[in-house]
Structure formats: structure tokens, C-alpha cells
């Protein structure tokens, strides 16, 4: 196993001592291993905040392409997961909040639509760092994407945080509510919240 593979394995496993030792021995912090992955992206995906901070301090690029096809970024990977300390480390290192990666995804929208009901604590971090709650990804806002993805709790949360109650969001919520009695019950609060938010615009 070469030094880069050793570094990426140690990073993914959260072995800070090994990571520090390998970097001191000359391992390149942003080098890709035999599977085309960097230590930073593996540490991010594994939720290893201490390792992420260590790699960033050693010069790892927080904006370097990541993913199977280098279509993502470390922050997009972090936005898909609930690890707040990893996100904080990347933001502190200057990771961009705008559309990024080959797929032009917006970190806030990714966090709002990941997991079972989105990750509001991650969205909060993005908002605190100046992210636009109404930023558009694939032609839709985070609110619209959350409604379309069935994440009704996140949709209501976004409305409380000031997301724009668009006509499309309302029409999408009504459409989803008509799909079944169970859906009607789930979407009723979202529809009411959308109506209320539109009244006070």
C-alpha cells in the first residue's frame, strides 16, 4: 500500500496520529488514492471532524473536486450528512456556499433535502455564513425541493426562517396533498403555512 492509500485509509478511520505522521513523512495532502479519492473527501464522508481540521490545516483544498466522477465538492458531501463540526471546519477554511461541482448543486438546498427530513442544523450553519435561503438549484428553491421530496417538516421550518412562499411551492404542496388521504394530512400544515406566509409578504 503506497503512502497516499495509507493516508486516505487513516483519514477515513479517524486516526489523527497516523495522518499527522504520514503528512510529515511526505504524503501529499490532496493526492488521490488508488480509488481516486482524497483524504479530505473520505474524512468528510466519514464524519471525521478532527481529521478534516487537520487536513485543512495542512493545506487541503476545501474546494477540490470530490466524488466518483469528481462531480461534487467536500462541502456538498458534508451537506448530505448530519455532521455539523465537519461543515464548520470547511466553512472556516473558505468553502464556497454558492452553486458548485459539475452538477452545480447548492449546499443549502442539498442539506435541506438530504436524510429523512433534511438537516435543519446544517442549514442554520449555512444561513449564519450568509447563504441565501431562496437560492435556486436545478430551477427550484430549497423550499420547493423539500415539498417535492416529501420533507414537510423541513418545508415548514424553511418557511419559519423566511423562505419565499412561491406560487409553485403552493401548487406543488396542493398536488402532493391530493395524492392520498395520508398525504393530505401530512401536507395540510405546509399548505396552511404557505397561505399564511403569502398573506404577510
pLDDT one-digit tens code per residue, 177-186 = 999 999 999 9
Quick: pLDDT tens for 127-163.
Answer: 999 999 999 999 999 999 999 999 999 999 999 999 9
82 neighbors 121 (Cβ within 8 angstroms): yes
For residue 201, the model assigns a pLDDT of: 58
Burial letters for 159-170: b for 16+ Cβ neighbours within 10 Å, e otherwise? beeebebbeebb
Q: What does 133-154 look like in DSSP terms, one character per residue?
A: TT-EETTEEHHHHHHHTT-HHH
For residue 16, the model assigns a pLDDT of: 98
Mean residue pLDDT of the chain comes to 96
pTM for this entry: 0.94
Helices (H), 62-150: 74-79, 84-92, 107-113, 120-128, 142-148
CA distances from 73 to 14, 66, 97 (A): 20, 5, 11
55 neighbors 11 (Cβ within 8 angstroms): yes
For residue 29, the model assigns a pLDDT of: 98
Determine the average pLDDT of the residues in 33-42.
96
Of 99, 90, 164, 163, nearest in space to 122 by CA: 90
Task: Report domain extents, the chain.
Answer: 1-105
Q: Is 38 helix (H, G, I), strand (E, B) or coil?
A: strand
Computed from CA positions of residues 193, 196, 200, 201, in that sequence, does the dihedral angle turn out positive or negative? positive
Quick: pLDDT tens for 75-108.
Answer: 999 999 999 999 999 999 999 999 999 989 999 9
Quick: pLDDT tens for 59-72.
Answer: 999 999 999 889 99
For residue 198, the model assigns a pLDDT of: 78
Taken as a whole, the chain contains a residue count of 201
- Structural class in CATH, domain 1-105: mainly alpha
Q: Give the Cα separation of 99 and 105 in Å (integer).
A: 5
134 neighbors 110 (Cβ within 8 angstroms): no
For residue 68, the model assigns a pLDDT of: 87
For residue 61, the model assigns a pLDDT of: 97
For residue 200, the model assigns a pLDDT of: 56
Amino acid at each position: 500500500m503506497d503512502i497516499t492509500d495509507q493516508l486516505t485509509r487513516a483519514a477515513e478511520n479517524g486516526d489523527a496520529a497516523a495522518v499527522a505522521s504520514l503528512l510529515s513523512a511526505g504524503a501529499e495532502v490532496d493526492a488521490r488514492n488508488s480509488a481516486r479519492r482524497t483524504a479530505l473527501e473520505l474524512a468528510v464522508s466519514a464524519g471525521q471532524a478532527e481529521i478534516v481540521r487537520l487536513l485543512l490545516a495542512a493545506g487541503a483544498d476545501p474546494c477540490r473536486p470530490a466524488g466518483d466522477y469528481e462531480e461534487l465538492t467536500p462541502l456538498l458531501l458534508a451537506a448530505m450528512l448530519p455532521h455539523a463540526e465537519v461543515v464548520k471546519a470547511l466553512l472556516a477554511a473558505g468553502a464556497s456556499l454558492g452553486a458548485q461541482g459539475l452538477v452545480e448543486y447548492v449546499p443549502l438546498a442539498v442539506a435541506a433535502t438530504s436524510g429523512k427530513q433534511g438537516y435543519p442544523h446544517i442549514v442554520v450553519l449555512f444561513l449564519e455564513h450568509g447563504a441565501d435561503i431562496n437560492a435556486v438549484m436545478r430551477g427550484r428553491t430549497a423550499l420547493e425541493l423539500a415539498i417535492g421530496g416529501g420533507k414537510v417538516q423541513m418545508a415548514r421550518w424553511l418557511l419559519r426562517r423566511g423562505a419565499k412562499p412561491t406560487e409553485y411551492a403552493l401548487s406543488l404542496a396542493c398536488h402532493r396533498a391530493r395524492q392520498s388521504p395520508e398525504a393530505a394530512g401530512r401536507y395540510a400544515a405546509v399548505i396552511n403555512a404557505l397561505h399564511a406566509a403569502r398573506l404577510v409578504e
